Structure 1
């Protein structure tokens, strides 16, 4: 039997990398992506389940469904902090096996209780919270892959790992669409979705056991995270990730519900015009099923596009710098949010019904927003290793010791940033819930999101792109502790300049 423990791993050793290290890294990346992919699907399982839960059967209104979507997002975000150190503490292979198996709990509970329509809302909230296990997988997976790849390839590798995982959101929505199209949206048909993922969870755990490895020279030390958090731009990166990943996962949960509400209003308006009572009653009865099908036909496209372009965001960040790509992304997200808010405003003037050009505008703007979140996710993630690679040059020690410090500190911060980003998804669902509760519309929420993207763009420019003054650069070393960067702009500009040079040379 193959030994799955690697005692000494140095991704920056070019000779060892070319002699077989890259094959080991690729094998671990493939199964890390698969396991994380399934984790994301389980994390977002309730974005699909709510399409099988008509209000007249489960007695959960749209606001309640938005909150149900927010709960697993919150729990998954919190779990990302301890999950960050888990791969170093227990081994990447060992932890992937365990964390994949853990997903059986929420999936089995969902399978049982979705067939019990009289279950209390509190019980569904608890089951939704357990689905948060899937969200924690992102942090452990990203930290693990960060250790396997050299600095020059981290943008691509982390983007591929995260993007492949993110596809778990549209994947389960596609499975849900297939079930609704083939069998209908009756609540008991949701069992097929759960059954598919029970098989995939088992496949992920078995694949990790057979093909992944443990890096024994990784260090599990929360001190690295505390050290990373003393670097000022770490907080700025976390804030920006709220805007990119928070939007991706938040709208990944909410997009289908927003569409479902709009289609329901449209179909009810059409049914109300039918003169024959029996035909009107039949049309009203069919509203829930048709609305769920129409919503499912569109909802998966946005998360799918956002997931597919995430590696592209990382690749662009490798070439021209994560800060530039991030700034351009937030400018585009602001424009997309304005279009969504305008379309929603027009729908409000027609009883919440988005028809024709208004619906087209709403969907296209949402798809653009999803694409931009994917690009932004890849770019923001690339900032993390760039910053700490540059900072490591000021740490006393050999080049190898500096690389280890950079790897462990960046890995620790990835989990924290991932947790922060997930909280953005919670905020999106809660703001939408509040907007629907107070105005019966999402328009107010969309204007709030637009304003937040403007703030993110300003923060990105001010912290990572504004050229530091000569005085600021001169004072930074004197004001800083040896292990702390206080001049964010100078460090990131240096890191991204080095990264661009490396990428150009390797191309």
Structure 2
């Protein structure tokens, strides 16, 4: 009987979408529809979206793991040039997050997932070509690295798409899972690529890009076959404009540079810092025939940061997002102090463990800052004003997208600050001291605005 009902379902519904897999009749807040066909459709789209976003993050960070091995492959890059190759994809990816946010309402979630997945082939093939020729002009390498930024844009479109599929009561968990799944792409690429490029002997850096090409095509095929476009997915231009005019959008974006910007920035430079600051450190994988595979511990930073993100949100539900954010910035400062001490003592153990502490704190902070957003916008309006509450909700949703883009610029800032520090002083210490000062400012801003600020006292909100 179930099969018959699906075959006779009206066109434009979940069981029987229109050509192009367009679904016209979809309302996740309709509990009857959600329990019958909505939840399975939402979960199907979520898992396929996570896979595509995971690959996007992997491509976005490809140059972070390839760059430290370029000189061993015959290139002659300075430290400044290496940090440019790491930073430029983050600059492009952060910028692309803004137009990508509006791509889903414009083209459909399924359609844009197909396009964005296929776009990942371009930077992968480009990398495979340029790393095989040590005479490649540096400007061309930067241009090819910049194309990897398309992977960073995937986060915005993926989050926007999934937000349309889930009801408010389950949206937070779904978006958290989607974000964490994408972030894990950084850890996986930093774990797998060093192994892939040395399998069979030698150093074949082109494999770093080529291995992702069939996976990107697979993601596009899976999206084409099983994802859906929702006619109800509309761009909230008015809500976005209102959020742009709200000072809290910019305050939160600033704070998110401190958390997600630190996460993606440190994830980008971590392999290079290990290689340059501790060149004598190598890890013997001889037990599986891969002796002296380089940088195999770098992935742990992105891994623990990704896994910590959901717990930051959960802890914020109990202790408030502001409190957890303040603690996260404080721990990030302690981690940076530990890195300074580790470099001074030339202790790889202290350097590495301090960075892991940094990554855990950035992950927790990512979750806590995002948790603050809905509460902040609710706290600034009269709770008896239904229209104002609705606008606050729309502004909060827009703020999430804006902060995601601005926060990602930290992935460009951190490598360039490290490059300037090394170029001018020959040391990472000035950069790290600057980051510690920045985290202190983040603490001060959070306390001043959201712990003792006028809006919080007025609304009594637990931000």
TM-score using structure 1 length: 0.80
C-alpha separation in 1, matches of 2:441 and 2:400:
22
Question: Would you say 1:302 and 2:296 are equivalent positions?
Answer: no
Rate the CA distance shift 1:384–1:95 in 2: closer, same or farther, 3 A. Answer: farther
Cα drift, residue 394 of structure 1:
5.9
RMSD: 2.6
C-alpha separation in 1, matches of 2:39 and 2:377:
23
Rate the CA distance shift 1:387–1:291 in 2: closer, same or farther, 3 A. Answer: farther
After superposition, residues 348-387 of structure 1 pair within 5 angstroms as: 354=346, 358-387=347-376
Cα drift, residue 313 of structure 1:
1.9
Query: 2:398: which partner in 1?
Result: 412
Question: Would you say 1:422 and 2:408 are equivalent positions?
Answer: yes
Question: Would you say 1:68 and 2:57 are equivalent positions?
Answer: no
Which residue of the other structure, out of 249, 264, 268, is the alignment partner of 2:264?
249
C-alpha separation in 1, matches of 2:134 and 2:320:
51
Secondary structure in structure 2 of the residue aligned to 1:218:
coil
Cα drift, residue 211 of structure 1:
2.2
Question: Would you say 1:260 and 2:227 are equivalent positions?
Answer: no
C-alpha separation in 2, matches of 1:256 and 1:388:
39
C-alpha separation in 1, matches of 2:231 and 2:120:
25
Rate the CA distance shift 1:218–1:495 in 2: closer, same or farther, 3 A. Answer: farther
Query: 2:423: which partner in 1?
Result: 437
Query: 1:499: which partner in 2?
Result: none
Question: Would you say 1:126 and 2:125 are equivalent positions?
Answer: no
C-alpha separation in 2, matches of 1:185 and 1:412:
48
Query: 2:10: which partner in 1?
Result: none
C-alpha separation in 1, matches of 2:225 and 2:456:
43
Rate the CA distance shift 1:193–1:455 in 2: closer, same or farther, 3 A. Answer: same
Cα drift, residue 490 of structure 1:
4.9
Rate the CA distance shift 1:443–1:334 in 2: closer, same or farther, 3 A. Answer: same
Rate the CA distance shift 1:332–1:375 in 2: closer, same or farther, 3 A. Answer: same
Query: 2:293: which partner in 1?
Result: 293
Secondary structure in structure 2 of the residue aligned to 1:372:
helix
Secondary structure in structure 2 of the residue aligned to 1:343:
helix
Cα drift, residue 364 of structure 1:
0.3
Rate the CA distance shift 1:151–1:322 in 2: closer, same or farther, 3 A. Answer: farther
Secondary structure in structure 2 of the residue aligned to 1:298:
coil
Rate the CA distance shift 1:435–1:292 in 2: closer, same or farther, 3 A. Answer: farther
Secondary structure in structure 2 of the residue aligned to 1:190:
coil
Query: 1:338: which partner in 2?
Result: 337
Secondary structure in structure 2 of the residue aligned to 1:167:
helix
Cα drift, residue 132 of structure 1:
0.5
Rate the CA distance shift 1:166–1:214 in 2: closer, same or farther, 3 A. Answer: same
Native 8 Å contact 2:180 2:306 kept in 1? yes
Which residue of the other structure, out of 28, 49, 59, is the alignment partner of 2:76?
59
Rate the CA distance shift 1:218–1:437 in 2: closer, same or farther, 3 A. Answer: same
Question: Would you say 1:195 and 2:210 are equivalent positions?
Answer: yes
Rate the CA distance shift 1:5–1:240 in 2: closer, same or farther, 3 A. Answer: same
Query: 2:40: which partner in 1?
Result: 23
Cα drift, residue 321 of structure 1:
2.8
Which residue of the other structure, out of 230, 235, 240, is the alignment partner of 2:245?
230
C-alpha separation in 1, matches of 2:28 and 2:319:
23
Rate the CA distance shift 1:16–1:316 in 2: closer, same or farther, 3 A. Answer: farther
C-alpha separation in 2, matches of 1:389 and 1:415:
17
Rate the CA distance shift 1:292–1:438 in 2: closer, same or farther, 3 A. Answer: farther
Native 8 Å contact 2:197 2:207 kept in 1? no
1:433-456 Cα offsets, whole Å, 9 max, x none, are 001111222111111111111111
Query: 2:323: which partner in 1?
Result: 324
Native 8 Å contact 2:197 2:208 kept in 1? no
Secondary structure in structure 2 of the residue aligned to 1:494:
coil
Native 8 Å contact 1:155 1:378 kept in 2? no
29-38 vs 3-12, which moves further: 3-12
C-alpha separation in 2, matches of 1:239 and 1:84:
19
Native 8 Å contact 1:29 1:145 kept in 2? yes
C-alpha separation in 2, matches of 1:10 and 1:364:
47
Rate the CA distance shift 1:394–1:218 in 2: closer, same or farther, 3 A. Answer: farther
Question: Would you say 1:462 and 2:448 are equivalent positions?
Answer: yes
C-alpha separation in 1, matches of 2:34 and 2:246:
31
1:176-196 Cα offsets, whole Å, 9 max, x none, are 12125534562xx12222222
Gaps of 5+ in 1: 269-289, 347-353, 473-486, 497-507
139-148 vs 73-82, which moves further: 139-148
Secondary structure in structure 1 of the residue aligned to 2:461:
helix
Which residue of the other structure, out of 130, 154, 178, is the alignment partner of 2:195?
178
1:428-481 Cα offsets, whole Å, 9 max, x none, are 000000011112221111111111111111112222222x4xxx4xxxxxxxxx
Rate the CA distance shift 1:230–1:489 in 2: closer, same or farther, 3 A. Answer: farther
1:271-298 Cα offsets, whole Å, 9 max, x none, are xxxxxxxxxxxxxxxxxxx99834x211
C-alpha separation in 1, matches of 2:314 and 2:330:
19
Cα drift, residue 417 of structure 1:
0.8
Alignment: residue pair count: 439
C-alpha separation in 1, matches of 2:395 and 2:109:
17
Question: Would you say 1:211 and 2:234 are equivalent positions?
Answer: no
- Higher RCO structure, 1 or 2 (CA under 8 Å, sep 6+): 1
Native 8 Å contact 1:185 1:292 kept in 2? no
Native 8 Å contact 1:77 1:420 kept in 2? yes
Gaps of 5+ in 2: 1-14, 283-289
